[in-house]
A and B are shown apart, each in its own frame.
Chain A
């Protein structure tokens, strides 16, 4: 059969989506090069490229690029992609446009678990000088496992709401807010029983900063993010069908309970790993999928990979801004995403169903 006009039109809409992805990738490369160049130690882009291609070695510049900026930038890209994808998946799985690791309280729960490991289980070594206190995670697995277990508590509550109560998006978010405060209270409790230096360290750590990860931390984040992304892309048609409701999804042969359970487990794990290394970064997971849907529509098979690209790009841009906006002070990027994300969240709520 020859292509009908409908099919041709549909193909055209797909080309637009692919184009969106290509533009995203170009911007990503540009932003990466820019982020490598700027900072308190400025390097011209040409030098950056030379260092990246290993044509120049054994210089301060080489150290700055390979040991400070590249891990930082890759962390921003991976964490941004991971959070955006976790948000996109949660929104579809729970049929909730306001869903995200942060709004459902899962980030706060993970942060509590991590703080518990750092504060009580001795998973962190403290360094403290007159100017700053910081925790260096010496047992990343313990911190991540605690963060994951704790995030599972929040996930279980949300899952039960979705599964058995058929909760509306609003109920789910209100529960998320309650869970968020509960776990934040837990984190505060840990701080209350810690000494001053430790308090400062935990507070600093919860800010959400992509600058404290080294190569090995980055490897762990990537080792979870990349398979999770593949898993979500593999399941994208299941999530497409979820949008029509549980009953329809079942009638189309999708094992709703299983797909929802595994999807939520994996997005919680992803959130927990990211949070345990870089702290809470709010709103990326919520806002990015909406921005992407605006441009390319709701088809998950494109939404998920393009959310990853856009999430990485946005977090990198935000971090670069955070590094340079009031230089020489380097802001934690979590503060900036909250400043940008909260108004966007309110906008989404007000705009409401007209947009969804």
Chain B
């Protein structure tokens, strides 16, 4: 599904968080949204999923403005993976993933919903923890469960807010691989990432935000010292090895 963000603005109270953000993303593409803390990455994702109401501008999915979708219509198209989530009540993994079927439910899950969830459990290799309480899982396992829930929505667009930030190396790669595999099947993803090396490796497009504005957008060429250094206020070195780009943060400027 094609996503078009057109001159989007948002402010918390009167403090502008996003200003005139414009982005475009085609089917099966992964857009990495990068930028320092507070640059508006999470807010952008929340506006796309209509969790927050933008102050100005518009967002289109395949040409249709998102405010013209009903809440459950939108939930059948967009899956959202928040930065962190804590439950104060016991929920087992299977039920947590089943929540992703909520937009399709009339009242209670059907045979199809259960089948779908068990398929996803198999796909993400969550069999061993499927009956455990999510409170007892490690950060990486929990993140996978939340992604599994978003996948259960059968979304055409996936929004992920720093999906790898609390994970160990293996889980980081596993999570990004899942996103990559979904992209191959046509799911467009918008991923807020801190790790520029992961962004370089997995994203087909990049948008660099600075204080709510798009500083640079495009392909991997965004990752060059001329962009990164002024926005992040760090001196960086770029290495290319085996066809991959690696960014090394050297020292703060």
State the A residues within 8 Å of B (CB): 1, 4-7, 9-10, 13, 91-92, 95-97, 169, 234, 236-238, 240-241, 243-245, 247-248, 250-255, 293, 297-299, 301, 353, 356
Contacts and interface: CB of A to CB of B under 8 A. Distances in A.
B96 A253 contact: no
B71 A255 contact: yes
Interface in B90-138: 90-92, 94-96, 99-100, 102-103, 105, 107-108, 114-115, 118-119, 121-122, 127, 130-131, 133, 135
B74 to A, nearest CB: 7
Nearest to A11: B114
B212 interface: no
A9 B82 contact: no
B87 interface: yes
Nearest to A1: B115
Contacts of B118: 4, 6-7, 10
Given A6-B118, A6-B127, A356-B88, A247 B103 contact: no
Given A6-B130, A299-B91, 5 more contacts: A95-B88, A237-B107, A244-B85, A250-B50, A293-B89
Contact of B130 (A10, A237, A247): A10
B171 interface: no
Nearest to B161: A247
19 contacts: A4-B118, A6-B94, A7-B115, A9-B130, A10-B94, A10-B118, A91-B89, A241-B102, A243-B88, A244-B85, A244-B87, A244-B99, A245-B82, A251-B80, A253-B73, A254-B102, A297-B90, A297-B91, A356-B135
B180 interface: no
B75 interface: yes
Interface residues of B, number: 46
A252 B102 contact: yes
Given A251-B79, A252-B153, A298-B91, A240 B99 contact: yes
B91 A250 contact: no
**Main SS at interface, chain A:** helix
Contacts of B96: 244
Contact of B74 (A243, A248, A253, A301): A253
Q: Which of B118, B121, B131 has the most CB of A within 10 A?
A: B118
A95 B88 CA distance: 7
Contacts of B144: none
B51 to A, nearest CB: 5
Given A4-B118, A247-B82, A298-B90, A252 B107 contact: no
A252 B152 CA distance: 11
Interface of B: 46, 49-51, 70-76, 78-80, 82, 85-92, 94-96, 99-100, 102-103, 105, 107-108, 114-115, 118-119, 121-122, 127, 130-131, 133, 135, 149, 153
A251 B69 CA distance: 13
A251 B130 contact: no
B45 to A, nearest CB: 10
Q: Which 3 A-B pairs have the closest CB atoms?
A: A253-B75, A251-B80, A253-B72
Given A245-B82, A252-B103, A253-B75, A240 B51 contact: no
Nearest to A297: B90
A5 to B, nearest CB: 7
Contacts of B130: 6, 9-10
B107 A234 contact: yes
B51 A237 contact: no
A91 B90 CA distance: 12
B89 A356 contact: yes
A26 to B, nearest CB: 25
A253 B135 CA distance: 24
Contacts of A6: 94, 118, 121-122, 127, 130
Given A240-B99, A253-B71, A5 B80 contact: no
